[in-house]
Structure 1
Amino acid sequence: MTKHTYDYGLIGNCSFQAHVHKNTNIEWMCWPRFDSSFIFGGMLDDENGGEFSIKPEGEIKETHQYYLENTNILVTEITCDQGRYRVTDFAPRFQQFDRYYKPIMLLRKVEPLENSPRVRVKCMPTGDYGRLKPSQYEASNHIEYLGLEKEVRLTTDFPLSYIVEERPIVLNEVKYMALTWGAPLEAPLASTCESFLDKTKRYWRGWVKNMSVSNFHQKEINRSALALKIHQYEDTGAIIAAGTTSLPEAPGSGRNWDYRYCWMRDAYYTLTAFNNIGHFEELERYFNYIVNISVKSRNRFQPLYSVTGEGELTENILDLKGYKGNTPVRVGNQAYTHIQNDVYGQILASLMPLYVDQRFINLERSDSLNLVYDILQKIEDLMEEPDAGLWEFRTLSQYHCYTYLFHWAGAKAAKKIADKFDNEKIKTLADKVIKLSSEKIDACFDEMRGVYTQAIGSKNLDASNLQMIMMGYLQDNPEACKKHLEELEKDLKSQEGLFYRYKHADDFGEPETTFLICAFWYVEALTCVGRIDEAIETFENLLKYSNHLGLLSEDVDAKTGSQWGNFPQAYSHVGLVNAAYRISRKLDMPNFL
């Protein structure tokens, strides 16, 4: 079986994302939000997904795709019989009038590199997940596509009739294309595109320059951080798990999920990564997202919400071919109905720096201490309630060790907040919850094997329990810590150094692929127990599972090294950043943890 990788680059500006294939086609782009219908969705259906490409008249002989260094600006170079040309794709993002300019606008610069190749430009957007084909008409300098929610306009200096008729065009000078949603580009095309390109380049390079990272695999950290940044929907502060839907965890598995939503759990890990590299703006925006959700939640949080905080994410199956024929294609996610009680602790752990970190002016947070107390009270109330766990089992409810670990971590975070504000009420409740959750965690301990199992009364092991090492639950007992790790290794580690989430059968059978963030958790756990050489070796081995641009998928087939699952997956890039941070701290401070 050949190795499967995703042949896409990702661009975005915290308003939208686009996946650009190595052949220049925009294979996936949802407008106007991450969780809207695609207007280009060839990734899931080459007939109904529309197309936006600049392909040569003949065959592509060679393609080279890369990012402008330390940016989210993507370059695709195409070699064909008539010569070579370059397509530069980006979503404008820069500071303007004391705020970020991040329009729903895709800009494409096309320039000849060798000779005058003939290219065929296609722009055929679609709506309502491929069910709506907009009509189009040519104006003086643009093509309008009518029938979508808002006007979609392609402004270009390519001959419009050649685009509409899909005829080849001789590329003998630089050309520009601006695809817009709603408000069109009314400014001069070429100079505006060049100005936006320069400003966007400077913005991203400034953002990277302000990161605080060591020299340990800095290039890979930079790429992961840049990818993570454009997973935040800046308007509300939500952070999505991935920008795609229904890319299968394994071929034919039926494990095809819509990840274009904000999971409380994923957001916690992403914000930890941003904190580790010295970026905090994302956390402040997320705080506002949580506050707005808490008003509507009536003290019961769902595992996930839409990017605008909507709670109902009804799961539907679309009549599309699916990625490489893998169906079903799902929109929405049934997990919003699940009981996943770890979310409460994750919210508290996520927000803690806003209260206790001296770099934040935290007086403005003091009026939200009631939110901290209410969430802590909810954890106590739910202590005896089984849940679906972080892997979102659809027909299995247990007393998950991981859930209790985050009850414990959330209470620890609340206690730090209480100490900061001298709040005895929160402190008393936090102490109580720490004790209760510790008792539940200890009830998951298998004395025969010396390992904490997936749930109370279960013999199954779970990679999420690597977190017990990383979060310091076992720090007072180093030998127990090492034994716990050894047992998890024996059961869940593949020969290739990858990690399965668990091995037991679930609603869809036994898992076929490994989960990449679990392997990065393993790296962190190795680092914590002092096996630093193994941690570095494992980390560097994991880097080979990226695609040609250093982008990571959700899942990896251990035998073939194939990428599967939604892509790029925020979780996986978070794993890379946090593992690199942990190793670099250990290298700099041998006694760390």
Structure 2
Amino acid sequence: MTKHTYDMGVVGNCAFLALIGTDTAVRWLCWPRFDSSFVFGPLLDEQKGGEYSIRPAAAEFTSSQHYVQNTNVLCTEITTEDGRYRVTDFAPRFMQYERYYKPLMLIRKVEPLEGTPRVRVACRPVGSYGEQELTRRRSSNHIAFLGLEEEVRLTTNIPLTYVLDEEDFTLNEVKYLVLTYGAPLEAALESTAERFLTSTLAYWRGWVKSTSIGQFHQSQVIRSALALKIHQYEDTGAIIAASTTSLPEAPGSTRNWDYRFCWMRDTYYILTAFNNIGHSEEMERYFHFIANLSTRAADKYQPLYGIGGQSKLVEKELPLAGYLGNQPVRIGNDAYTHIQNDVYGQVLVALLPLYVDCRFQEPSRAVPLSLVEESLRLIELTMDQPDAGLWEFRHIAQKHCYTYLFHWAGSHAALRVARSLGHQELAAKAQRLIEASEAHIEQCFDIERGVYTNAINSEHLDASTIQLITMGYLDPSSEKARHHLVELEKELKTPEGLFYRYRHPDDFGTPETTFLICSFWYVEALACVGRLDEAIAEFEQLLTYTNHLGLLSEDVDAKTGSQWGNFPQAYSHVGLVNAAYRIAKKRDRPQFVGY
């Protein structure tokens, strides 16, 4: 079997994301929000997904793709017998009038590099997940596409006849295409596009310069950080798991899910990553998102919410062909109905710095203590309640070790807040819940095997319990931690160093592919227990599972190294950033433990 990779790059500006194929085609673009219908979605259906491409007229060509260094600006170069040209794709993002300018605008700069290449431009956006064809209206220098809530407009200096008829033309000078949703471009085309490009390059380079990233595989950590950044929907502060839906975890598995939502759990790991590289802006924006949700929550937080805070994310199937024919194609995600009690601890741990880090103590903005009190109350309320766990089992409820680990960690975070504020009653409650959580975690310990199982009264192992080591519940220098890791290796590790989430059957059978973040958790654990050389070797092996641009999927087929699952996956890039941080800290300070 050949190795399958996602041959696409991602561009975005914290208002939208687009995936661009190596043939210049926009494979995925949802407007006006991350979770809206696609306007271009050939990734899931070549017939219904519309098209936006700047392909060569020649049938045979070669291509290459790269990012402008330290930016989210993507270049695709096409070579044919006639010549060579480059398409530069970017979503404008820069400071303007004391705020970020991040329009729903995809700019494409097309420049000849060699010879006289002939190209063909196609632009056919669609609505309602491919069910709606848009009407076209030709104007003097743009084409308007009508039928959605707001106008989609293509402004270009390419003759409109060539675009409308999808006719070949010779590319002998630089051309620009500006596609907008809603507010159109009403300024000079060429000079504005160049100014936006220069400003966007400067913004991303400045953002990278402001990160605290060590020398250990620095370029890959930068690429992962840049990918993570554009997964935040800045308007509300929500952070999505991935920009896509229904890319299968394995071919024919039917594990095809919509990931364009904000999982509380994923966001904890993402904010940890941003904290590790010295970026706090994302955490502050997320705080506002959580604070808004907390005023609506009754007796629980959901595992995930829409990027606007929507609580109902009803799952349904669409009549689309699916990625490489993999069905069903789903939008929405019924996991919003699940009981996943680890979320309360994750909220507390993620937002802890806002309460105890002096850099965030601004007199103009008080952080409500009620958020801590409510999360702690919910930990207490759910202490003996079975849940679906972090892997979101649909018909299995257990008392999961991972949930109790975050009850423990969240209670520790609450204790730190209480002590910093001198709140004795809250501190006493947090201490009681720490002890209760520890008692439940220890009920998951299998004395005969010397390993923590996935749940109380269960014999199954789960990669999530690696975090008993990385989060400091187990002393990494202890024999108990070392043995726990060895037992997990025996059951869940592949010969290639990849990790399965678990190996027991779930609602859809036994998982076929490995889950990439678990492998990065393993790398962190290796570093923690003192097996640093192995951690470095495993980390470097994991880098071979990126695509040509350094982007990671959710899952990897251990035998072929193929990428599967939604892409790019924030979880996986988080794993890379955090594992690199852990290794760098251990190399610089060998006694360093914990975050």
Q: TM-score when scaled to structure 1?
A: 0.99
Given that residues 454 and 465 in structure 1 are in contact (C-alpha distance below 8 angstroms), is that contact kept between their aligned partners in structure 2?
yes
- The amino acid of 2:89's aligned partner reads D
Displacement of 1:313:
0.1
1:467 maps to what in 2?
467
1:136 maps to what in 2?
136
Q: How far apart in 2 are the matches of 1:461 and 1:476?
A: 19
Displacement of 1:364:
5.8
1:381 maps to what in 2?
381
2:546 maps to what in 1?
546
Q: How far apart in 1 are the matches of 2:451 and 2:353?
A: 31
Q: How far apart in 1 are the matches of 2:244 and 2:486?
A: 35
Given that residues 269 and 571 in structure 1 are in contact (C-alpha distance below 8 angstroms), is that contact kept between their aligned partners in structure 2?
yes
Q: How far apart in 2 are the matches of 1:232 and 1:337?
A: 23
Given that residues 345 and 408 in structure 1 are in contact (C-alpha distance below 8 angstroms), is that contact kept between their aligned partners in structure 2?
yes
Unaligned 5+ runs, structure 1: none
- The amino acid of 2:453's aligned partner reads T
Deviations 1:527-555 (A, max 9, x none): 00000000000000000000000000000
1:317 maps to what in 2?
317
- Counting aligned pairs with the same residue, the percent is 64
Confirm whether residue 426 of structure 1 aligns to residue 426 of structure 2: yes
1:182 maps to what in 2?
182
Deviations 1:85-108 (A, max 9, x none): 000000000000010000000000
Deviations 1:170-217 (A, max 9, x none): 100000000001110000000000000000000000000000011000
Given that residues 354 and 367 in structure 2 are in contact (C-alpha distance below 8 angstroms), is that contact kept between their aligned partners in structure 1?
no
Q: Find the residue that maps to 1:129 and give its secondary structure.
A: helix
Q: How far apart in 2 are the matches of 1:364 and 1:399?
A: 42
Displacement over 4 Å in runs of 4+: 362-367
Q: Find the residue that maps to 1:439 and give its secondary structure.
A: helix
Deviations 1:496-528 (A, max 9, x none): 000000000001100000000000000000000
2:328 maps to what in 1?
328
Q: How does 1:387-536 map to 2 (within 5 A)?
A: 387-475=387-475, 478-536=478-536
Against the structure 1 CA distance between its residues 203 and 367, is the aligned structure 2 distance closer, same or farther, given a 3 Å change threshold? closer
Q: Find the residue that maps to 2:129 and give its secondary structure.
A: coil
Q: Find the residue that maps to 1:324 and give its secondary structure.
A: helix
Displacement of 1:367:
5.2
Against the structure 1 CA distance between its residues 362 and 502, is the aligned structure 2 distance closer, same or farther, given a 3 Å change threshold? farther
1:195 maps to what in 2?
195
* Range moving further from structure 2, 51-60 or 206-215: 51-60
Given that residues 355 and 367 in structure 2 are in contact (C-alpha distance below 8 angstroms), is that contact kept between their aligned partners in structure 1?
no
Q: How does 1:342-361 map to 2 (within 5 A)?
A: 342-361=342-361
Q: Find the residue that maps to 2:360 and give its secondary structure.
A: coil
Given that residues 243 and 260 in structure 1 are in contact (C-alpha distance below 8 angstroms), is that contact kept between their aligned partners in structure 2?
yes
Given that residues 74 and 90 in structure 2 are in contact (C-alpha distance below 8 angstroms), is that contact kept between their aligned partners in structure 1?
yes
2:21 maps to what in 1?
21
Q: How does 1:104-143 map to 2 (within 5 A)?
A: 104-143=104-143
- The amino acid of 1:465's aligned partner reads T
Given that residues 52 and 122 in structure 2 are in contact (C-alpha distance below 8 angstroms), is that contact kept between their aligned partners in structure 1?
yes
Given that residues 340 and 389 in structure 2 are in contact (C-alpha distance below 8 angstroms), is that contact kept between their aligned partners in structure 1?
yes
Deviations 1:435-481 (A, max 9, x none): 11110000000000000000000000000000000000011871100
Q: How far apart in 2 are the matches of 1:376 and 1:119?
A: 60
1:157 maps to what in 2?
157
Q: TM-score when scaled to structure 2?
A: 0.99
Q: How far apart in 2 are the matches of 1:83 and 1:459?
A: 62
Displacement of 1:58:
1.3
Against the structure 1 CA distance between its residues 184 and 49, is the aligned structure 2 distance closer, same or farther, given a 3 Å change threshold? same
Q: How far apart in 1 are the matches of 2:163 and 2:477?
A: 68
Given that residues 14 and 230 in structure 1 are in contact (C-alpha distance below 8 angstroms), is that contact kept between their aligned partners in structure 2?
yes
* Range moving further from structure 2, 360-369 or 335-344: 360-369
1:579 maps to what in 2?
579
Given that residues 137 and 144 in structure 1 are in contact (C-alpha distance below 8 angstroms), is that contact kept between their aligned partners in structure 2?
yes
Q: How far apart in 2 are the matches of 1:367 and 1:251?
A: 46
* Range moving further from structure 2, 455-464 or 363-372: 363-372
Displacement of 1:166:
0.8
Given that residues 356 and 416 in structure 1 are in contact (C-alpha distance below 8 angstroms), is that contact kept between their aligned partners in structure 2?
yes
Q: How far apart in 1 are the matches of 2:345 and 2:364?
A: 22
| Aligned-CA RMSD value | 0.9
- The amino acid of 1:89's aligned partner reads D
Q: How far apart in 1 are the matches of 2:162 and 2:433?
A: 68
Displacement of 1:374:
1.3
Q: How far apart in 1 are the matches of 2:223 and 2:446?
A: 40
Against the structure 1 CA distance between its residues 367 and 208, is the aligned structure 2 distance closer, same or farther, given a 3 Å change threshold? closer
2:205 maps to what in 1?
205
2:89 maps to what in 1?
89
Unaligned 5+ runs, structure 2: none
Displacement of 1:81:
2.1
Q: Find the residue that maps to 1:359 and give its secondary structure.
A: helix
Given that residues 299 and 374 in structure 1 are in contact (C-alpha distance below 8 angstroms), is that contact kept between their aligned partners in structure 2?
no
Confirm whether residue 12 of structure 1 aligns to residue 12 of structure 2: yes
- The amino acid of 1:327's aligned partner reads Q
Given that residues 17 and 243 in structure 1 are in contact (C-alpha distance below 8 angstroms), is that contact kept between their aligned partners in structure 2?
yes
Given that residues 59 and 81 in structure 1 are in contact (C-alpha distance below 8 angstroms), is that contact kept between their aligned partners in structure 2?
no
Q: How far apart in 2 are the matches of 1:367 and 1:547?
A: 41
Displacement of 1:424:
1.2
Q: Find the residue that maps to 2:143 and give its secondary structure.
A: strand
Q: Find the residue that maps to 2:288 and give its secondary structure.
A: helix
Q: How many residues are matched?
A: 593
Q: How far apart in 1 are the matches of 2:322 and 2:541?
A: 31
Q: How far apart in 2 are the matches of 1:383 and 1:361?
A: 32
- The amino acid of 1:157's aligned partner reads N
Given that residues 85 and 110 in structure 2 are in contact (C-alpha distance below 8 angstroms), is that contact kept between their aligned partners in structure 1?
yes
1:260 maps to what in 2?
260
* Range moving further from structure 2, 393-402 or 358-367: 358-367
1:63 maps to what in 2?
63
Q: How far apart in 1 are the matches of 2:382 and 2:471?
A: 22
Q: How far apart in 2 are the matches of 1:164 and 1:59?
A: 21
- The amino acid of 2:210's aligned partner reads N
Given that residues 500 and 518 in structure 2 are in contact (C-alpha distance below 8 angstroms), is that contact kept between their aligned partners in structure 1?
yes
Q: How far apart in 2 are the matches of 1:105 and 1:58?
A: 29
Confirm whether residue 170 of structure 1 aligns to residue 170 of structure 2: yes
Given that residues 116 and 170 in structure 1 are in contact (C-alpha distance below 8 angstroms), is that contact kept between their aligned partners in structure 2?
yes
Displacement of 1:365:
6.3
Given that residues 476 and 528 in structure 2 are in contact (C-alpha distance below 8 angstroms), is that contact kept between their aligned partners in structure 1?
no
Against the structure 1 CA distance between its residues 204 and 445, is the aligned structure 2 distance closer, same or farther, given a 3 Å change threshold? same
